[in-house]
């Protein structure tokens, strides 16, 4: 299997949002979904941790903390976008 055939992309354009998923076919036939993270689990853990102090507002504070971490990820995506065209040319040529 050449490199271009290893990657799978799915796109769902709906009325209320757009979702995408990227996967890689492994040598043993399994598919590794790229981008599965621990965000929901961390948010729940933070909410539980903050609940004694903030009560029912703990989920809001947990979401705020997790969303601040996403700002760093957004910055890295922005930096990566500057080399996207060159990176795609390399993949297409393979």
Question: Looking at residue 78, what is its pLDDT?
Answer: 83
Residue in 45, 35, 38 with CA at minimum distance from that of residue 8: 35
Judgement on whether residues 54 and 88 belong to the same structural domain of the protein: yes
Same domain? 32 vs 55: no
Residue-number span of the structural domain to which 55 is assigned: 37-94
Clarify whether residues 18 and 49 are in a common domain: no
In the chain, the largest separation of any two C-alpha atoms, in whole Å, equals: 56
Q: Are 88 and 3 in contact (CB under 8 A)?
A: no
Together in a domain, 26 and 44:
no
Q: Are residues 21 and 48 in the same domain?
A: no
Please tell me whether residues 56 and 94 are part of one structural domain. Answer: yes
pLDDT tens, the chain, 94 aa long:
555 567 777 777 777 666 777 788 888 878 877 766 677 788 899 999 999 999 999 999 999 998 887 787 778 878 877 887 777 777 666 5
Q: Does residue 92 share a domain with residue 52?
A: yes
- Residue 21's pLDDT is 76
Under 8 Å CB-to-CB from 22, ≥6 apart: which residues? 7, 8, 9, 10, 33, 34, 35
Q: pTM of the prediction? A: 0.48
């Amino acid at each position: 299997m050449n490199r271009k055939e290893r990657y799978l992309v799915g796109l769902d354009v709906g009325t209320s949002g757009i979702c995408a998923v990227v996967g890689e076919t492994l040598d043993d036939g399994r598919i590794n979904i790229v981008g599965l993270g621990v965000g929901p689990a961390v948010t729940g853990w933070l909410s539980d941790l903050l609940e004694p102090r903030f009560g029912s507002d703990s989920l809001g504070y947990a979401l705020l903390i997790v969303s601040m971490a996403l700002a760093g990820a957004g910055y890295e995506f922005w930096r990566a976008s500057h080399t996207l065209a060159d990176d795609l040319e390399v993949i297409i040529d393979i």
